[in-house]
Structure 1
Amino acid sequence: MSERARGRRQTGAPAAPFEGPALSVSGLSVEFWVGGQWAAAAKHVTYDLMPGKVLAIVGESGSGKSTSSMAIMGLLPKNARISGSAKLAGRELVNAPVEVLRKVRGEGIAAIFQEPMTALNPVYTIGFQISETLLTHRHGMTRKQARERAIELLGLVEMPDPEKAYNSYPHQLSGGQRQRAMIAQSISLDPRVLIADEPTTALDVTVQAEILDLLRNLHQKLDSAIILITHDMGVVADMADDVMVMKDGDVVEHGPVGQIFGKAEHPYTRALMASVPHLGLGEAGADAAARHEAGTAALVLDKLCIDYPKRGRVPAFRAVSDASLTIQPGEVLGLVGESGSGKTTIARAIVGLIPVAEGALRVAGQDMVGVDPKELKAVRRKLGIVFQDPGSSLNPRWPVGESIGEPLQLAGHDKADIATRVTDLLDLVELPRDFRNRYPHELSGGQRQRIGIARALALDPTVLVADEPTSALDVSVQARVLELLQNIQKEKQFATLFVTHDLAVVDLLADRIAVMQHGKIVEQGTKEQILRNPQDPYTQRLIAAVPVPDPAEQRVRREARAALLAAQE
């Protein structure tokens, strides 16, 4: 590399152009030694990634998309065996010496991981971690220069206050700010290839849109090639030039983004696309407003306020203020908003896990404010709750049949009645009856969530609270769980509060929608009113930020969002 090119790389300017692919992968296979034999995780993965291009690798959990990419960087555990070839600008990386890989990591190829809180060191400041990267690879750079460059990088990733962020610890930043800090560290050495492994999965839709805009702008400025690992087809439509679809370790289809979305050839790819919820394609509920006015409400919130008390140095604060909602039997209300808006706080108050400070809360006609513990136990029999993470909400020491039957046991049912009811519930959620003897770790994520739904429905609740029940699931599994929940809800006619930040899912399921921001409900109405004709500026921004699984439509939406943001400034 020339002195001039080296200077560009050190100042963060685009890397010097070079002939051929930035990354050339040929016949890459990964196996793990498990249970006394080799198990294939990725098989004969082959692709060329050109400078300035974005390759999206998509597929369900266990398809091999992350494994094949981490193998390139030498970041797999010791029980892994890698074969084939992966050349970074002509340099072989597969089974390269550790010294070579250490030099390549960061400077030649860098990674943005899914969860910045676990990827960043919690005991060091953000600035120290970025500076450490620079000082390790840029010999001759002083600490003062590293600090200046780190602050410059934090500005480049549009951190609100770069100097403050430089001196902050990871826990002092929001999720979006932590992701920006990790991106700043990843691009600090101007890598030729950037591997982004589910970089927006844990983020709210508006923050996700900002991070995608940031990645798009950075890769254009730096001319870095990007491998985007994701299961969000809206993100793929927004970012990718090419798409590679993986299933069970095999590449089943590979082509330009327009071809994959418009003329997919493999049945698995077509099924994957069909499973993706698409904002704007939900069925219109013509009678939603009329049905909402009829009958006695199953759930009523009237000017509800919820406070969190002072804890240590954390001052007391009002998490929910003047929230008013009603849900009729058989109705689904989608409660949407960003993290920290108060959605889950309301859900927890409804089931009696958080006290109400002011206002009224009634479930099936029973006042929940100041309710006697004995009365609360009776009311809870009319409530069911489905949690976000089915793995952590089930007792790992119990067979799932016991978890499903626990509410019945606590309600005083006899063993014979419980056994019959558990069988009926397994049938209801479309799982084999012999699953009652299995433990949670023996089931997939979708199966565990079905068990969670069965448990929530054990006592035939009047109100079901579903708190982000599909956010941890693959898109095809999510589609099956949502269809199941939809069918059961129509059959049983319980009132449902569906808490989520996924507006496409709300479009599919909900009759009505309430939008929360900073602890207040800023807008509510039928899904046609909220999703097709939003009035509040926050709702407009929220809907505009949702990526849709159609490259052409997404380009139009991206331009419309930019115009909306400019008009609202």
Structure 2
Amino acid sequence: MSTNDRRRAHTAAVPTGGPALSVKNLSVEFWVGGSWAAAAKHVSYDLMPGKVLAIVGESGSGKSTSSMAIMGLLPKNARVTGSAKLAGREVIGAHPEELRKVRGEGIAAIFQEPMTALNPVYTIGFQISETLLTHRKGMTRKQAKERAIELLGLVEMPDPEKAFNSYPHQLSGGQRQRAMIAQSIALDPRVLIADEPTTALDVTVQAEILDLLRNLHQKLDSAIILITHDMGVVADMADDVMVMKDGDVVEHGPVGRIFGDAHHPYTRALMASVPHLGLGEAGADAAARGDSSSAALVLEHLSIDYPKRGRVPAFRAVEDANLTIQPGEVLGLVGESGSGKTTIARAIVGLIPVAEGTLRVAGQDMAGVEAKDLRAVRRKLGIVFQDPGSSLNPRWPVGVSIGEPLELAGWDHKAISKRVEELLDLVELPRDFRNRFPHELSGGQRQRIGIARALALDPTVLVADEPTSALDVSVQARVLELLQRIQQEKQFATLFVTHDLAVVDLLADRIAVMQHGKIVEQGTKEQILRNPQNAYTQRLIAAVPVPDPTEQRARREARAALLADQERYRPAS
């Protein structure tokens, strides 16, 4: 039976013309500390077949909780009231056995991190086949395998048969996401809940997954609930937008109206917080910045190798890289996962040895550096990590974490105490926060603590490795403003490692683009972002979604034309 035949059979028994999903006054509460705490309040919407509803808001707004309640995927301390009808059938309060039948056939979910959603000990093919065999009584294993391979082809997996026999860890992030989408659409669901489906992906892979979701929902006529905090993705995919804050729906309307004429102050503030590619101010002239003799950070023909580990052979992660960063300058280092960005950052702080070439940090040559010299140069380095929650010791008050570099540098306790207070002032946090533990702070506050710790010794060079990717958009904006202000005030050299080109446009003076361990293009941000010469850079920039539905539609069409043009002139292998 073909996909269209299955779709017709699936829809024959349900009402036509009505919503695929109708939610009325849906509320979710959790029993916490002896009382009920509201997580979502009186959520209502109708989702028509073939339409995409984006639910947006910051962490804790209730967007994921309200959607998982529909599928019955909340913990036991949750209480759900209200109504959610899937093709006219009530699912709130339904018997677990009935809910199990609904999941997959009526409604399915695509989760944020496929590596945790897929079982690591089973092959991709087994997991898709298991879904089919559980719900399709009478289907043989051979038929399930054929259907699974068909599904992997439908989601444009490069080699469906190879992917069928692969384990999750053997696939790339984008391939794992495609495999999870294949499993989600295996039973032709009427509604797909996509919970941050592209957050963990590179920008080019994200664009491919969004194209895939768009094509699939048009082919299958599935309705999609898109949960995200990326307003560029909303502009690219959504028909309607629902904005949530602290469990309440504060605004709901067509995507054009929400982006063009938002009514609620919170929605307007959310839109204003979104970094937008093309709105960054002009950077300083690179020629006026001086030469390598005055630079705080110098890479000349740098190559870095990873040694052989077990069955993993040795390989060259960075080859012939050349970069300079002057005091007071911000260099954005961009590229996809595996391009070598973080490897360079690790080499700068002495965690990976230099194989060939020169790496000079604050005047110290890092090639073959001795331990005593490495300790000295690290006092001139600051590092801001991607995830502040895992980079701070959970057993220490944050004041102790901020003061740790000072203690290791030999400062006395009175001087440390005074400096910790100065640093808390610098990152705009109350001084009494020094006695709080990391779990008592929000993500944005933890990242401010991470910045304070990185600046404790007034570094000459700051390495910021994806410092805002784990934050909500409005929190990200505040942290970026803070980092920008401190950098301009202190004039340290900054290597800003990221895959978010809109953030680079906001912060950087110059940009270097990496692909497969090589720097393929570098220059001022005007040169790289407005007039890229390298084909890879052009694809990277074309893949960035912008928070404007009209502009994003034009960019999507231009990207399709660019890819077709580059494919046409690709040399034959």
Give the match's secondary structure for 1:227.
strand
- The residue correspondences of 1:58-69 to structure 2 (distance < 5 A) are 58-69=56-67
- CA contact 1:55–1:226 (8 Å) conserved in 2: yes
1:53 corresponds in structure 2 to: 51
Report the 3-state secondary structure (helix = DSSP H, G, I; strand = E; otherwise coil) of the residue aligned with 1:307: strand
State the Cα distance separating 1:366 from its structure 2 match.
1.0
1:152 to 139, 150, 156: 150
Determine helix, strand or coil for the equivalent of 1:397: coil
1:523/1:548 Cα in 2 relative to 1: closer, same or farther (>3 Å)? same
Aligned to 1:418: 416
The residue type paired with residue 489 of structure 1 is Q
> For residue 548 of structure 1, what is the aligned residue in structure 2?
546
Aligned equivalent of 1:251? 249
2:141 aligns with: 143
**Superposition pairs of residues 70-85 of structure 1, within 5 angstroms:** 70-85=68-83
Q: Is the 8 A contact 1:130 1:150 kept in 2?
A: yes
2:289 corresponds to which of 291, 312, 322: 291
Distance 1:303 1:453 in 2: 31
One-letter code aligned to 1:291: R
User: 1:290 Cα deviation (Å)?
Assistant: 1.9
Q: Distance in 2 between matches of 1:162 and 1:148?
A: 10
The equivalent residue for 2:337 is 339
The answer (yes or no) to whether the contact 1:12–1:188 under 8 Å persists in 2 is: no
Using the TM superposition, give the Cα deviation of residue 287 of structure 1 relative to its aligned residue in structure 2, in angstroms.
Answer: 2.9
Aligned partner of 1:219 in structure 2 is 217
Structure 2: segments with no counterpart, 5+ residues: 568-573
Structure-1 separation of matches of 2:458 and 2:418:
14
Other structure's SS at 1:312 match: coil
Q: Cα distance 1:233–1:289, how it changes in 2: closer, same or farther (>3 A)?
A: farther
Q: Which amino acid aligns with 1:448?
A: R
Structure 1 match to 2:535: 537
**1:179-190 equivalences in 2 (<5 Å):** 179-190=177-188
Tell me by how many angstroms 1:7 deviates: 4.2
**Among candidates 188, 192, 195, match of residue 194 of structure 1:** 192
Question: Displacement, 1:258?
Answer: 0.3
Distance 1:420 1:355, change over 3 A: same
- Residues in 1 aligned to 2:133 and 2:376: alpha-carbon distance in whole angstroms: 63
The residue number in structure 2 matching 1:127 is: 125
Letter in 2 for 1:331: E
Instruction: Say whether residues 1:117 and 2:88 are aligned partners.
Output: no
1:222-371 matches, cutoff 5 A: 222-293=220-291, 296-371=294-369
Q: Is the 8 A contact 2:62 2:244 kept in 1?
A: yes
- The corresponding residue for 2:499 is 501
| Matched residue, 2:571 | none
Instruction: For 2:71 and 2:87, locate their aligned partners in 1 and report how far apart those are by CA, in whole Å.
Output: 14
Do 2:57 and 2:228's aligned partners in 1 also have CA atoms closer than 8 Å? yes
Q: Which residue of 2 aligns with 1:386?
A: 384
Deviation at 1:19, TM superposition (A): 2.2
Match in the other structure for 1:374: 372
Post-superposition offset of 1:12: 9.7
Taking only the aligned residue pairs, the percentage that are identical comes to 88
Give distance in 1, aligned partners of 2:325 and 2:230: 31
TM, length-normalised to structure 1: 0.98
- Cα deviations by residue, 1:360-395 (Å, 9 ceiling, x for unpaired): 000111111111100110010000000000000000
* CA 1:263–1:66: 2 relative to 1, 3 Å: same
Q: Which residue of 2 aligns with 1:519?
A: 517
154-163 vs 137-146, greater mean Cα deviation? 137-146
Q: Deviations over 1:90-117 (max 9, x none)?
A: 0001011001100000000000000000
8 Å contact 1:130–1:188 — kept in the other structure?
A: yes
- 8 Å Cα contact 1:8/1:14 also seen in 2: no
Give the Å deviation of 1:291.
Answer: 2.2
Query: Counterpart of 1:338 in structure 2: which amino acid?
Result: E
Q: Is 1:34 aligned to residue 40 of structure 2?
A: no
- Offset, 1:14: 11
Q: Within 1, Cα distance between the matches of 2:150 and 2:12? A: 15
Which stretch shows the higher mean deviation, 87-96 or 285-294?
285-294
Structure 2 distance, partners of 1:411, 1:327, is: 25
Q: TM (normalized to structure 2)?
A: 0.97
Distance 1:152 1:368, change over 3 A: same
What displacement does 1:285 show? 1.8
CA distance in 2, matches of 1:126, 1:290: 54
The Cα shift of 1:328 comes to 0.1
Give the secondary-structure state (helix, strand or coil) at the position aligned to 1:82. Answer: strand
Give distance in 2, aligned partners of 1:510 and 1:352: 24
Q: Distance in 1 between matches of 2:42 and 2:234?
A: 23
After superposition, what is the alpha-carbon deviation per residue over 1:340-365, rounded to whole angstroms, capped at 9, x for unaligned? Answer: 00000000000001111111000111
Indicate conservation of the 8 Å contact 1:512/1:527, yes or no.
Answer: yes
Moved more, 277-286 or 463-472: 277-286
8 Å contact 1:15–1:190 — kept in the other structure? no
Q: Is the 8 A contact 2:15 2:87 kept in 1?
A: no
1:5: how far off?
10
In structure 1, give the amino acid aligned to 2:473. Answer: V
> Greater shift after overlay, 205-214 or 279-288?
279-288
Contact 2:284 2:509 in 1 (8 A): no
Matched to 1:406, the amino acid is: E
1:56, 1:244 within 8 Å by CA — same for their partners in 2?
yes
Distance 2:259 2:58 in 1: 17
Residue range with higher mean Cα deviation, 375-384 or 7-16? 7-16
Provide the rounded CA distance (Å) in 1 between the counterparts of 2:419 and 2:455. Answer: 10
Give the unaligned 5+ runs of structure 1.
none
Letter in 1 for 2:422: D
Deviation at 1:288, TM superposition (A): 3.9
Q: Which moved more, 1:150-159 or 1:292-301?
A: 292-301
In 2, distance between residues paired with 1:300 and 1:469?
A: 22
Q: Distance in 2 between matches of 1:309 and 1:15?
A: 60
CA distance in 2, matches of 1:531, 1:212: 22
Counterparts of 1:389 and 1:414, CA distance in 2? 30
Distance in 2, matches of 1:475 and 1:112, equals: 22
Tell me the secondary structure at the aligned position of residue 311 of structure 1.
coil
Corresponding position of 2:475: 477
C-alpha contact (below 8 Å) 2:7/2:220 kept by paired residues: no
Please state if 1:173 is matched with 2:171.
yes
**Are residues 292 and 104 of structure 1, via their aligned partners in 2, closer, same or farther at CA, if it must alter by over 3 Å?**
farther
What is the alpha-carbon distance in structure 1 between the residues aligned to residue 565 and residue 383 of structure 2?
40
Distance in 1 (CA, whole Å) between partners of 2:318 and 2:399 is 37
Q: How many angstroms does 1:294 deviate by?
A: 8.6
CA distance, structure 2, for counterparts of residue 549 and residue 123 of structure 1: 39
Spell out the pairing of 1:12-23 with structure 2 (5 A cutoff): 18-23=16-21
CA contact (8 A) 1:297 1:327 kept: yes
Measured in 2, the distance between the counterparts of 1:306 and 1:326 equals: 17
Question: Taking structure 1 as reference, are residues 13 and 36 closer, same or farther at Cα in structure 2, changes over 3 Å only?
Answer: closer
The residue aligned with 1:408 is 406
Q: Please state how far the C-alpha of 1:245 moved relative to its aligned partner.
A: 0.1
C-alpha distance 126-331 of structure 1, shift in aligned 2 (>3 A): same
Give the distance between the partners of 1:471 and 1:8, measured in 2 at CA: 40
Q: Give the superposition deviation at 1:41.
A: 0.1
Q: Is the 8 A contact 1:63 1:246 kept in 2?
A: yes
SS of 1:324's equivalent? strand
Displacement, 1:295? Answer: 6.9
Kindly tell me the number of residue pairs found equivalent between the two proteins: 567
Q: Compared with structure 1, are the counterparts of its residues 339 and 6 closer, same or farther at alpha carbon in structure 2 (3 Å cutoff)? A: closer
Report how far residue 68 of structure 1 moved.
0.1
Distance 1:68 1:27 in 2: 11
